[in-house]
Chains A and B, each alone.
Chain A
Amino acid sequence: MSIDATDRRLIKATQSGLPLVPAPYAEIAGSLGLDESEVMQRLQAMQDSGVIRRIAVAPNHYALGMTANGMTVWDVDDPAALDLGAQIGALDFVSHCYLRPRVLPDWPYNLFAMVHGKTRDEVAAKRAEIRAILGDALRSDDILYSTRILKKTGLRLGKG
């Protein structure tokens, strides 16, 4: 789906969040000079096409005690990687899961899965669950814990 100029205005108006008022879509519509029904239709169309993944809350993992965050990385046989990645992404403790190109010789891993837990032991146990799923398709793996957040501004659509 291609988004038009009105969609872009709508994205900019909502990318930092929805207004906390009883009729949030009407309020956004008012600020953009649109009808509430048009705002809802456009949001629905973007959600249907995947431009909007979902409208939801992002809980603060850290505040909820999920302070151990490991980027698990796996060197998985390419022919099996799509099927196995789908199984890993569906795990309820994996927050992001991607296939990425290897950068040889520095980096042999092609499957990335972010795993969250209250402790590193908990994350290590979850990592073992992933390892069991990958089975014989796994050649090597590693885990990189985040030790410091250096910047976190989120993704923003710019002025363009």
Chain B
Amino acid sequence: MTALDDTDRRILNRLQEGFPISPRPFADVAAELGLEEDDLITRIARLKETRLITRFGPFYDAAAMGGAFCLCAMQVPEEDFDRVADLVNTHPEVAHNYERDHALNMWFVLATETEAGIGEVAKRIEAETGLTVLQFPKEHEFFIGFRVAA
């Protein structure tokens, strides 16, 4: 793990709150934090390189962009797990896939350009694996207060 200094922590905490849409946004944030613009940019670049930041930029709502996405789960026999994971992950529509400690032990998110695409990909995965794909589309998404204290 890379060591973070206090300035890095302040940057991480500040930039989780948002980033200005202005001609010199780094200069604006740097001024708030008492830093120089180029120092802020250099530090963000380093935090990205060392993977302490996974992404920096706009977070788009996939549904608002006209696409669809859906959480799905399968109950995969232990002995077949890796083979099924490969089959599932081959689909470019599979955005995330996690193993979880439950009878339903494989949980993945499908992201497609259209609503109909979700069911089509799920059907293909069922045909390829011989397993049932349970679909958990979101009915309501709640506003999130989540922040990681760096």
Interface residues of A (CB under 8 A from B): 1, 3, 8, 11, 14-18, 20-26, 36, 40, 43-44, 46-47, 49-61, 63-66, 71, 82, 85-86, 88-101, 103, 106-107, 112, 116, 142, 144-158, 160
25 CB-based A-B contacts, threshold 8 Å: A8-B65, A14-B57, A14-B58, A15-B57, A20-B44, A23-B23, A47-B21, A52-B61, A54-B58, A55-B19, A56-B59, A58-B53, A59-B54, A63-B1, A63-B51, A89-B142, A89-B144, A90-B144, A94-B146, A96-B146, A147-B100, A148-B98, A150-B106, A152-B96, A155-B62
* Distance between Cα atoms of A103 and B37 in the complex (Å): 51
Expressed in whole angstroms, the minimum distance between the Cβ of B53 and any Cβ of chain A is: 5
4 more CB-based (< 8 A) A-B contacts, given A11-B58, A144-B101: A56-B15, A59-B12, A59-B148, A96-B144
Q: Given that A88-B142, A150-B89 are known contacts, is A66 also in contact with B148, CB under 8 Å in the complex?
A: yes
Q: Mark B114-150, 1 if CB is under 8 A from A, else 0.
A: 0000000000000000000011111111111111101
Expressed in whole angstroms, the minimum distance between the Cβ of B23 and any Cβ of chain A is: 6
Pick the contact of A59 from B73, B145, B150 — CB < 8 Å? B150
Expressed in whole angstroms, the minimum distance between the Cβ of A63 and any Cβ of chain B is: 5
Q: Given that A63-B52, A148-B99, A154-B55 are known contacts, is A40 also in contact with B138, CB under 8 Å in the complex?
A: no
Expressed in whole angstroms, the minimum distance between the Cβ of A158 and any Cβ of chain B is: 6
* Distance between Cα atoms of A153 and B93 in the complex (Å): 10
Assess the B146–A92 pair: CB atoms within 8 A.
yes
Assess the A158–B113 pair: CB atoms within 8 A.
yes
* Distance between Cα atoms of A45 and B86 in the complex (Å): 40
Q: Shortest 4 CB-CB distances between A and B: which pairs?
A: A89-B142, A150-B97, A148-B99, A151-B97
Assess the A40–B146 pair: CB atoms within 8 A.
no
Q: Given that A22-B37, A150-B98 are known contacts, is A57 also in contact with B142, CB under 8 Å in the complex?
A: no
Closest to A95 in B: B146
Q: Given that A56-B15, A97-B141, A100-B136 are known contacts, is A150 also in contact with B23, CB under 8 Å in the complex?
A: no
* Distance between Cα atoms of A85 and B145 in the complex (Å): 12
For residue B16, CB closer than 8 A to chain A, the reply is yes
* Distance between Cα atoms of A55 and B17 in the complex (Å): 8
